[in-house]
Amino acid sequence: MKLFLAVFCLLSVVASAYCSLIASGASLRSTTALNIRSGPCTSNGIVTSVGAGTTLKFTGSVQSGCGYTWYGVEVNGKRGHAASNFLTEVNNGGGGGSNTGASISVDALRRIMPNLSSSKANQYIGYLNSALAAGNINTCCRKSAFLAQLAHESGDLNWFVEFASGAAYEGRKDLGNIYPGDGVRYKGRGPIQITGRANYRAAGQALGIDLENNPTRAADPDVGFRTAVWFWNSRSLNQYADQCNQSGFDITTRRINGGYNGKADRDAHWTRGKSVLGC
């Protein structure tokens, strides 16, 4: 039945409850503080507000509006609509091996990244979940690999600018650094630490942002998580994460780092992520 609905949704241009593989009445959890609105758009009035980690009931309604997909939800006897990219389905049993859905809760994120504070987790969770959805990083295997690499590169999302000056990248033509000062100007930024003029240019072109002339924007969370997903997908890393084994994860490490620097830390985060997410 789910396969039939998935095919139906790909062919249909009309949003409806049939286009959700989540059963009506299922439990959802908010991944960040969230306003429940009277209709499927941010212009609609607020019915109630919930904090991160709140459990809501899915009413079966799925609608599009204001650039988001909206789920009908019920909480504390009140019904309304909430943007789906800030909700994750609660696993109420079964193996849960695939942990499908391009989102993660604040609690799960902090268990994977133990040095991430609650305030930063809540600040970043919306940007992260939007990026996961955009990049089809939507299974346990993909999320655990992606988050492990981000965790190592950014110190559990605690730094979005490389500590080193970037002088070591000066003259690195393989990174597109062809002008004096490019090493410092295009040093690592964002949760995956994109580096080099060529990467800033390509990421900016893909995202519609002039990062080549405004490289510091890559350190902004809203842009940084998008550059991380761009880099991940530009190296076709989902296919290796899908292997969900050490050899596949090692390929993601090599394609991000160029080698195996920090392998033990990356591996530890990956193992922890699989345990937390259930794969």
Query: What is the distance, to the nearest Å, from the Cα of residue 127 to the centroid of all Cα atoms in its chain?
Result: 7
In this structure, are strands 68-75 and 55-65 parallel, antiparallel, or unpaired?
A: antiparallel
Ramachandran sector of residue 72 (left: φ over 0; alpha: ψ -120 to 50; beta: rest): beta
Query: Any catalytic annotation for residue 212?
Result: no
Chain centre to alpha carbon of residue 277: 14
Maximum distance among all Cα pairs of the chain, rounded to whole angstroms: 63
Distance of CA 270 to the CA centre of its chain: 15
What is the C-alpha separation between 61 and 140, in angstroms, rounded? 25
Q: Give φ, ψ of 252 to 5 degrees.
A: -65, -40
Structure tokens at 14: 């009309």
Sequence-distant (6+) residues with CB within 8 A of 8 are 18, 19
Nearest 5°: the CA angle 70, 22, 146 is 80
Given 74, 89, 153, 170, the catalytic residue: 153
**Residue whose entry in the numeric block shows the structure tokens 């006897």:** 77
Catalytic residue set: 153
